[in-house]
Amino acid sequence: MNHTKLKLSAVALTLALGLSACSGESPEKQVQSAESEQMKAVDVDKSMPMQSIESTAKRIGESAANWQIAQFGNLDYIPESHRAKSENAKFWIQASFYIGLTRWIDATDDKQLESFVKQVAEKENYELILERPYHADDHAIAQTYLWLAERAGVQEAYMPTKEVFDMILSKPPQVGLNMGDSESSSGKYHLEGNCQLRWCWADALFMAPRAWAQMTKVTSDPKYLEYGNKEFWAAADYLFSDEYGLFFRDSRYFDAKSDNGEPVFWGRGNGWVFAAIPMIIEELPEGHPSKDRYIELYKKHAEGLMALQKEDGYWPASLMDPDKVRTPEVSGTGFITFGLAWGVNNGILTDQRSKDVVEKGWSAITKAVTDDGRVNWVQHVGKSPDPVKESDSQLYGTGAVLLAASEMLIWNK
């Protein structure tokens, strides 16, 4: 595919390789700011010409990748509470950007971006964060290392991850999936019995399972996929609500109610899972016995999500209570739009309604990306629906936009 190369300056690339969520306002002021800015959301067109969708996807993807890479070494726009973690290439915040970026590279075959990813991975020595070897968040960067191993056949790209995964298989966690309030603290992580030794929260299903499937692909050893598949379904069966077609973020939300008395289903939490399912399906070997089960879950989740898209094209931060946070939220919307577009592009969602929902979601995303590629309206790091301002931006939000853009490049082809 012919495309305009990203013009990454030498300075930007140097800053990027030196890399390794609110403005400081009180919660009350955040709410006030969010409410006052909600009218800035622009109504989206009901439809977009196919040629326009492809060209817009190309422009959005290139500019978003370019802008985000140029910010490495200068992440002052990120709240101080999460800036250091955002600067760590091995941490999930940045790793989620690379998942979107590598998907974009697959769609465009951009050699310059591929070289950039290789240099980042080499600089990190293909290592995971070793303080929490079982933690799903710290497996997210493995997806990029394993992508490189498969794409370039570089054995050293997956060996450190293989060592960690082999250790986990030798000492599999023997804990339940119920998350107590104390367990959400990283300081409590090493306590015996903490459910975060497994995948007991929705975000984890984006961070870890695909990496285990990728490991089987690059090593030809089925034990990694077997573990990842078993743990995925343990978590999915536990967290998915058949009644609503949505995922609870974790067990603490099973009975939670929003300020308006509605069940609490977090937009981005559902986006994490819904974006992960297609990428896991793609890693399954031909004829894998769980494939139909993944597709069935995908369809149920798609139906639950499509029913909750707002008139402006975004999905609300609180899916069942759109009045909780009335502003746009782009990370959840990006992940969900990607997942739905994938379903249409792969012939799983074939009705006109699904196509209309995707185009409406994509049009909404384009309104949130500035001309220079900054992705706005991204809820900062959290675990539940929180206020969002137009100026809020984060790396995983850009990753979500890149995932969506990669599917819109081939929309209706």
Query: 2 CB contacts (<8 Å, ≥6 apart)?
Result: none
Residue 375 covered by a domain: yes
Q: Which residues are catalytic?
A: 203
| Residue 233, in any domain of the structure | no
Average confidence score pLDDT of the chain: 89
The phi and psi torsions of 246 (rounded to 5 degrees) equal: -135, 165
Q: Which domain holds residue 31?
A: 10-130+245-408
**Average pLDDT estimate for 158-177:** 97
pTM above threshold 0.95: no
In a domain, residue 160? The reply is: no
Q: What is the mean pLDDT of residues 362-371?
A: 97
Structure token digits, residue 82: 């999460």
**240 is a domain residue:** no
Would 86 be classed as within a structural domain? yes
The reported pLDDT for the residue numbered 283 is 98
Per the structure, how many domains does the chain have?
1
DSSP string for residues in 78-135: S-HHHHHHHT-TTSHHHHHHHHHHHHHHHHH--HHHHHHHHHHHHHTTTPPPTTSTT-
Rounded Cα distance between 245 and 103, Å, is 27
Q: Confirm whether 162 is domain-assigned.
A: no
What is the DSSP annotation of 235-291? HHHHHEETTTTEE-SSGGGSS-B-TTS-B--BHHHHHHHHHHHHHHHHHSPTT-TTH
Q: How many CB atoms lie within 10 A of CB 413?
A: 7
Contact predicate 67/373, CB 8 Å: yes
The domain that holds 57 is classified in CATH as 1.50.10
Instruction: Say how far apart CA 249 and CA 201 lie, in whole Å.
Output: 6
Query: pLDDT tens, 14-39?
Result: 434 444 433 344 443 444 344 444 43
In a domain, 302, yes or no: yes
Q: Is 169 helix (H, G, I), strand (E, B) or coil?
A: helix
pLDDT tier at 412 (50, 70, 90 boundaries)? confident
142, part of any domain: no
Would you place residue 187 in the very low, low, confident or very high pLDDT band (cuts 50, 70, 90)?
very low
